[in-house]
A and B are shown apart, each in its own frame.
Chain A
Amino acid sequence: MPEEKRKINAREFDLSAVERLCTDTWEAVYRYIYYRVQNREEAEDITQETYARAISFMQKQNARMDNKISFLKKVSLNILRDRWRKAKGRPSEVNMDELNPGEVSTDDFSLSSTERQVITDALNELNEAQRMVVELRIIRGYSVTETARIMNKTEGAVRTLQYRAIKNLSEILKNNE
């Protein structure tokens, strides 16, 4: 039986089981979280909490983990929702599930080709300067100073341009939903 499909029972939990669980599944779970938070620090933190919570839960409830990755993803999504909702003091205004319908139930955590196309199309609707600033700042990860130098603009102009670009992009994506 493939390792991933093997069911885990809480009673079987020992150190080697934990080690196996982490080694087999961490990358999928980490990528799933990173997809949502888009930064390593938070993704690492939530991944750690996911495993700690999952193990506590399994031991407490004497639960059975039929599909490890999907169970861990559900736990991580709960943590993420909890944190963002709790922190903001009110329900999240932007429901991440609504923005990515069907995402939660599927095991495919990477960017689907449809979504990639949607974003690329939206970027193409921006004017050249706006598209460039998004590409430099967000996709390539340049600083404002570096972007200003490349685009031959002041830093203030880059910030304003980038704000307008994201605002337009947000509208375009909203209208295409």
Chain B
Amino acid sequence: MKDRERDLSDYTEKLSEYIDKLNEEKKPEQHGGKIDSPEQERLYETVRQVRRLREPAMPADDFPQKLTKTAAARLNRRKVYNTLRNKWYWNAVAAAVVIVAIALFAFSGLFSKDNAVLAMEEAMSEVKAYHGILEFVSTNAEGEKTVQNKMEVWADEKGRYRVDILEGYQAGLITVNNDERKWHIRPEEKKVHLFAPFPDPYRFVFELWDEVEEAKNAKKTEILGEETVLGRKTTVLEVHPRGGVPYKLWIDRETHLPLKKESGMLNALQYTVAYTEIEFLEEIPADKMAFSVPEGFETEDRNPEQVVTSVVEAVKIAGFEPTVPKNLPASFRGKSISVEMLTGTIKLTYSSDDGQKRVVLLERKAEGDFKPATTAAIGKIGYYNAEFQSPVEVSEGILKTFGGMYGFRSIRWQKDGYEYAVVGNVSFDTLAGFVESLGAGTVRMPENMSFREKPQVEVPVDMESVENEQKSVDAGHSPWKLDPVFVAQVFVSLKMSPEGIQGDYPVAYENLEVVHNNGIDAVIEVKQENVPVKRVYMRRLVRQDNTGIWTVIGYDPA
């Protein structure tokens, strides 16, 4: 009976949120992957039907111009791809195409920063694999340049790669990940180290797919001008990433792909990395991806995972029956099953049909109570709290081997004595599809967790100084401001010792608990006696993602 009441209250809440979204003229999550029952979907359709009695909300006046720009950018890109489609080398493209493309851009003013990034993204989507020589140069504050490394690299759209270090630090080292295994050939030690192919947080510097992704997700991009680099005409783009120091990209005007990258000056050092040669391929040559142990070399297995052929085998090793998804989200299929030997974690790996997306489902017996990472947003799965991370930065609990996975998101939760996580280079909606296919309950994203509470005492905020603090954190200072618990600890401690903190903080980090964090607002509760503050309210005022700092906006006195 209670369950029914809870379901009903969940349905009414969801329906209300759906109507609110449409009233705000925003896309409801149900249109983008949230799975609901057919009955619920029928209700949403009824809402849309009734809404058709209203006149549609029309876009802003400049929409037709924006539309023309986007459509025209596609037109121009397509012209360039036709040249890319065939394997090409430097100096091998007809000059006429360049002139047409540049003339089109120049005429229409279409080579705006957004178009430059869009064009890169589209150009990259046409590339299947490439092979290039990368040169990595450092420059010190006096302007002295040193070649750090020269590498020969192969990479493909499915994330497979091979890196041979030709010159410089660690020359001779070969790293390969062919999606079945990852290995290092270390000539100095005469050893071949074996690793699990996934997760593999390693990416060689200036890997083009990652580079385009980073530019796409940047806070801001700006065109600085044009330059000829290595005999190629390029557009120079300044990229302001979300967090971190701005850097420059030189984008080939013909291929629309990055050719050179220069980091900002950090600790009196600046790095430049460039493709001195590049060719585009249909695939990486098979011999470059084939596993072989050079004569006289020893193999050392560093893979703590046992790959098994069925769930039954996994059960024998891990000692428990894992929950397996009932209906896989469309276009995903099972790829492998393995058991992490040290932790007894069963790992089910799924891949999209085109091989570009990967989702891993992890399950193990829980160790103690569920404790979400303090920097993570908190949502719900059924009635349980769940940790949401994007990207996966903190490797708590079952996510131990996944920390620092750029471009990956994760959802982690605990239920009935088991700990679960889904992690993948996919949207939260797709991950939620996996969670729900396990029968774990309905997923409520952190941003949809209602937040109605207000602090009893408001703390005034000076936006200018908050923005400056954010800049300072972006430059790598005071990273603790990204952790709401740490910010609360400092705030409460200063309330207790306004003259400043000497020695240990008067309130312990462990005694502060995140009771709410939807990625924008967070509430921390103090679980320690004799502290003048009971709850601290904070908000991400400048940026609402993992790179945004937390600022105290109020508190409840004890």
Contacts and interface: CB of A to CB of B under 8 A. Distances in A.
Interface in B109-168: none
B58 interface: yes
Interface string A117-154: 00110010000000000100111011110000000000
B16 A22 contact: no
A59 B75 contact: yes
B224 interface: no
Contacts of B171: none
B72 A56 contact: no
Interface string B465-480: 0000000000000000
Given A111-B52, A163-B12, A44 B59 contact: yes
A92 B19 CA distance: 20
Interface string A18-54: 1101110011001100111111111111011001100
A47 B71 contact: no
B40 to A, nearest CB: 9
A139 B20 contact: no
A92 B44 CA distance: 13
B12 A99 contact: no
Contacts of A173: 46, 49
A60 interface: yes
A162 to B, nearest CB: 6
A93 interface: yes
Contacts of B217: none
A112 B12 CA distance: 30
B104 A15 contact: yes
A59 B127 CA distance: 19
B356 interface: no
Given A34-B56, A52-B70, A59-B75, A90 B43 contact: no
Chain A at the B interface: SS class:
helix
Nearest to B108: A15
B27 A39 contact: yes
Given A89-B433, A119-B50, A139-B50, A47 B56 contact: no
A89 B329 contact: yes
A91 to B, nearest CB: 9
Contacts of A8: none
A35 B32 CA distance: 17
Contact of B327 (A23, A52, A89, A166): A89
B43 A166 contact: yes
A137 B17 CA distance: 11
A137 B53 contact: no
A96 B328 contact: no
B68 A23 contact: yes
Contacts of B429: 87
A170 interface: yes
Nearest to B77: A56
B31 A42 contact: yes
A162 B48 contact: no
Contacts of B49: 99, 119, 173
A148 to B, nearest CB: 11
A157 B53 CA distance: 25
Contacts of B330: 85-86, 88-90
B311 to A, nearest CB: 21
B78 A60 contact: yes
Contact of A22 (B22, B67, B329): B67
A43 B25 CA distance: 9
A116 interface: yes
A116 B50 CA distance: 9
B48 A170 contact: no
A123 B53 CA distance: 12
Contacts of B41: 92-94
Q: Which of B23, B64, B71, B72 has the most CB of A within 10 A?
A: B71
B464 interface: no
A84 B43 contact: no
Given A34-B57, A86-B331, A94-B38, A56 B78 contact: yes
Contacts of A60: 78
Nearest to B51: A38
Contacts of A88: 33, 35, 330, 433
A3 B64 CA distance: 17
A144 B67 CA distance: 35
A138 B46 CA distance: 11
A65 interface: no
A134 B27 contact: no
Kindly list the 8 A-B residue pairs having the minimum CB-CB distance in the complex, ordered from nearest.
Answer: A89-B329, A87-B33, A40-B25, A93-B38, A163-B12, A42-B27, A51-B71, A34-B56
11 contacts: A18-B68, A19-B68, A26-B67, A35-B56, A38-B52, A40-B58, A42-B27, A52-B74, A92-B41, A94-B45, A138-B50
Interface of B: 8, 11-13, 15-16, 19-28, 31-33, 35, 38, 41-54, 56-59, 63-64, 66-68, 70-72, 74-75, 78, 104, 107-108, 327-331, 429, 433, 437
